[in-house]
Chains A and B, each alone.
Chain A
């Protein structure tokens, strides 16, 4: 089973340091990791660095992987693409990046169909990307990422454009996928209650550094919210025992 650990990871844009000294424990197959932090904290940079899209110091230690670094798949935040491609073509396009060659096989088509169906976007299959709403585009983007048969998934705010129903549907789906297929899923989230509900581990990024890391319940605390987000908040248990972040105001 795949494991992943980050050691002293850093990244630079030109002369400015965007990320430094990020260390994590060893993450195991099936784990969901919430990557949280304020805007421009370095979450996307961390994902790009882990995915190999940015160079920098440190190590991405991957063990037990069948695909190596190719198994690390990043899903960017930007969903503005309006290429004249159908949803089906765009998912197939993602799948074809690893199986080159002009011809499209029945197995590849079956894979695309299954992914579209699992995300509830099968009815959009032959709509052009430009005709989709923001939420629909986000689901297509998730489908494209899944089509690459990932072992490690780095999802940059995958629910930011989705309505509440779709957010829950996607997060449920991702958690099931992580457990069943043994993926390690990193999700950048702004909704900390969703992080508490769906993720096993939280990694707090602020000012380009990993400020805290650990089980969600231990990391998402009133102290952390005051320090990192500069808000006054309480963590209380709901009637079903799940911890909830209740925001009282700006600190």
Chain B
């Protein structure tokens, strides 16, 4: 982002406006790529349809044969849109965790929220334990959600203790990861072979669990949290200058951090409960957004939405094309295609990524 020296205030003002335009173009580029990936995701599947047919089925459902309409609207659209929604939610959750905890390793995965959700899901899958018996029909997602919220709540409680720094919170999160992974292993040890297979499949993450109601809930959570983040965008950006600096700006750092952590918990818990563990997006989506667009939250926030959505959508496309007729678990694919891209981005960048 280095540019030739511009020393006159007018030049700098023009330079800033040019930088903002460049960021807007980048966001638009992400939007175009995400839309293309979505269309491709809809077109791919065991039954081959052309892009034109699929687009027609989405825009004018009454004008296409019923089979195509059912495949697109009942199977592919919820899954493809869920990829976008889950990717966006996890990426934004990771972005705000990294911002509020001032730590590049923070994500729903590294703070134990995903591990807690996996343990909750495993209890349901292996032993039929329902943590919320009134939702008997949705034991696995409800268990996963309850455990995710419990772990997030535990982190909140501990973070409110006097003298607890952001580094301590990250360490507590890592301790939770190990604890829940050990408990998950214990469940698998006592479970039947079939149950173990189900648990393992769940922990790999799968978009095939997507339904319209689950998609609706995920989108609702995003729709509630994003405007709140946007409203605090200047304050959240200031957090990255350090707690003292942010507080000196008149920001109530403790309150902002708590509010943000509550919203992050919702953003992380619902997707994990619905589609299983997808670890990579929440960590890397924000880093890619940060490297490309910087940390002004007015642009970083939408960029994180886009990078997360795009990463998971591309992963969904790849998961369908690796072996024709089979769908690979999305969590595995996301990491496999995302890691090389991420490493090339970090090593190729002339500037520090954090």
Contact = CB atoms under 8 A, between A and B. Distances in A.
Interface stretch (A111-119, A200-208, A234-242): A111-119
B2 A81 contact: no
Q: Select the residue from B3, B242, B245, B247 with max chain A CB neighbours within 10 A.
A: B245
A89 interface: yes
A216 B247 CA distance: 31
Interface residues of B, number: 44
Nearest to A52: B250
A186 interface: no
Q: Select the residue from B20, B241, B295 with max chain A CB neighbours within 10 A.
A: B241
A51 interface: yes
Interface string A68-86: 0010011111101111111
A90 B163 CA distance: 28
Interface in B1-35: 1-3, 5-10, 12-13, 15-17, 19-20
A80 B354 CA distance: 12
B74 interface: no
Given A106-B13, A130-B351, A85 B296 contact: yes
B292 to A, nearest CB: 10
A94 B242 CA distance: 13
A122 B13 contact: no
Contact of A102 (B13, B17, B233, B295): B233
A126 B13 CA distance: 11
A56 B107 CA distance: 36
Query: Which 6 A-B pairs give the minimum distances between C-beta atoms?
Result: A113-B9, A83-B240, A76-B244, A109-B13, A122-B7, A74-B248
17 contacts: A53-B248, A82-B352, A84-B294, A84-B295, A90-B241, A93-B234, A94-B249, A97-B234, A97-B251, A98-B250, A109-B9, A113-B8, A126-B1, A128-B1, A128-B351, A141-B245, A144-B241
Interface of B: 1-3, 5-10, 12-13, 15-17, 19-20, 162-163, 230, 233-235, 237-238, 240-242, 244-245, 247-251, 290-291, 294-296, 298, 351-354
